[in-house]
Chains A and B, each alone.
Chain A
Amino acid sequence: MKEVEEKEEASVYQRVVLKNASPYHYLKVRLVLEDDSTRLSAVELKYFIITGLKSLYGEVGAALNFDVLKYDEDTLTAFLRVYSSLVKLWSSLTLLGSYQNQACAFRVLQVSRLNPRSSLIIRIFSEVIHS
């Protein structure tokens, strides 16, 4: 769905409205592990998510196009960017229940369609105040 509306006022002012035009979704997720001391590298995290996609959606799911934009190894928090298939990625994250024989869970902290930075400010305003 895309709608472009243009309005000219003495050729100085232009207004364009785009609906649903962004092809990407951004997610901020945190991996919670049973054993807090376990650490994953960014590559291991991406591989882990791909295994989840593969077990739920097969080879086609494993080929899903997504990026790990940023990853913090200490908090196990990552920004993901996914092209169009948000539901597939989200559902496989939800169903990922174990990492190397220990229970784990992905917490989706924020979803945004527009701007990776939106995923940062989220509902974390509390952190701003108490820091």
Chain B
Amino acid sequence: RVRNAERCARFATRSSTRVKHEGAVSTVQVSVLLPECSSAPSHLDSVLNNFSSFYLIKKLPVYELLDRHFLETAVYHGAVFGLSYRTRIDEDNCVALMPNGHLTLSLDKDSFEILGFEGKPSRFKHRTATRFVVSVDLTDSSMAPGRRSYLRLLTSLKSRLQLQTDFLLSHHPGGGASIQPLLSRCDWSQHRPEVNCRVLTNLPCPAPLSCDPHSFLEWLGAVDAGISCENSSSSFLSSFVCPEPNTMHRHALSVSVSGLLLPHDIHRLLQELRRYVEQPRLASWVSMTVRGFADSPVSCSNHEHGFLRGGENFYTLMMFHDHTYQLHLAMGAHDVCPP
């Protein structure tokens, strides 16, 4: 059985239903392709350049996330999102803190046994369970500071497992003050998401509706990665060509933003793109691709995520002039297919 069976779900709608943001919570990069456009309109440009900044904390002891003050000012308000950095989901201990107050620890067998807290075997296990997931709802009353479960987890993380990790932390606008006390106890740095903008000329584009989704996704990925498709089927190096039927666009704008991005910012971008595509233009579609961290312990809708071979975890949203959209979701074989 092929383990890396991928699933690709394709959604299409033909009415003017509203486009709903899927909410991939741990986003590393969003890229936008605007055909027949050489510079982004100012309102779109300002959204792209105003993504919230995020913090990188060096060697954060994980029990700091259970600090009473941090819980009360940040976690209970759903204001923060955090993810362990440079940890690999298939070999290291990974940590994620969700805006809904869920703390997820993805641990190897030894660490899980040392921690001694309730968890369940990972979906991404081999014949014997070698990885365990501990998921705690910090907003639950049993996890309130001072309660028994809270104290047990705190002592386990403080005196037994002593888990430390580099940690990326981001907060919703206006939530900056709530994480200052945590930052003051650690070594941290602030980063802004990096914006990369390219104008492509003479770009052949396939027709999105008549092309099969795999070829279209492949073409989009190739444009994003700067791969040339000016080949013929007989060339020695590469036989990759733009899918037929295609039309030549004189300009196209490809913008990508990388960093720890918040769903809130992606939603704003989505709204702007909808406004952009509604206006009459030469090209009738735009695409937005949102990629999640390959090593994040959670992906869409708080489901568990694993690496297998590729750690794929992204979606592409194609929006058309007539308010219809297509959503292409891609994920690994063991990931839960979103509803």
Contact = CB atoms under 8 A, between A and B. Distances in A.
A94 B149 CA distance: 48
Interface stretch (B63-71, B100-108, B216-224): B216-224
25 contacts: A12-B14, A13-B11, A13-B12, A17-B8, A20-B2, A22-B6, A22-B8, A68-B238, A69-B227, A70-B226, A70-B227, A81-B240, A113-B4, A114-B8, A114-B217, A114-B314, A115-B217, A115-B220, A115-B314, A117-B31, A117-B224, A117-B225, A118-B291, A128-B258, A128-B259
A122 B294 contact: yes
Given A16-B9, A113-B310, A118 B28 contact: no
A24 to B, nearest CB: 7
Interface string B221-241: 110111110000000111110
A88 interface: no
Contact of A113 (B6, B13, B225, B291): B6
Interface of B: 2, 4-15, 17, 28-29, 31, 56, 85-86, 88, 191, 194, 213-214, 217-218, 220-222, 224-228, 236-240, 258-259, 289, 291, 293-295, 309-310, 312, 314, 330, 337
Contacts of A11: 14
Q: Which 9 pairs show the lowest CB-CB distances between chains A and B?
A: A117-B221, A115-B221, A67-B238, A117-B224, A12-B15, A20-B5, A112-B310, A116-B221, A16-B10
Contacts of A46: 236-237
A110 B308 CA distance: 11
Contacts, number: 139
Contacts of A13: 11-13, 17
Contact of B337 (A17, A126, A129): A17
A79 B218 CA distance: 13
A124 to B, nearest CB: 10
Dominant secondary structure of chain A at its interface with chain B: mixed
Identify the interface centre among B86, B225, B227, B309: most chain A CB within 10 Å of its CB: B225
Interface in A7-46: 11-22, 24, 42-43, 46
Interface of A: 1, 11-22, 24, 42-43, 46, 67-70, 79, 81, 110-123, 125-126, 128-129, 131
B311 to A, nearest CB: 8
A111 B289 CA distance: 19
Given A12-B17, A114-B217, A117-B221, A67 B6 contact: no
Given A68-B238, A125-B293, A113 B214 contact: no
B199 to A, nearest CB: 18
Nearest to B16: A12
Contacts of A126: 86
Contacts of B240: 67, 69, 81
B237 A123 contact: no
Contact of A116 (B8, B10, B227): B227
Contacts of A117: 31, 220-222, 224-225, 289, 291
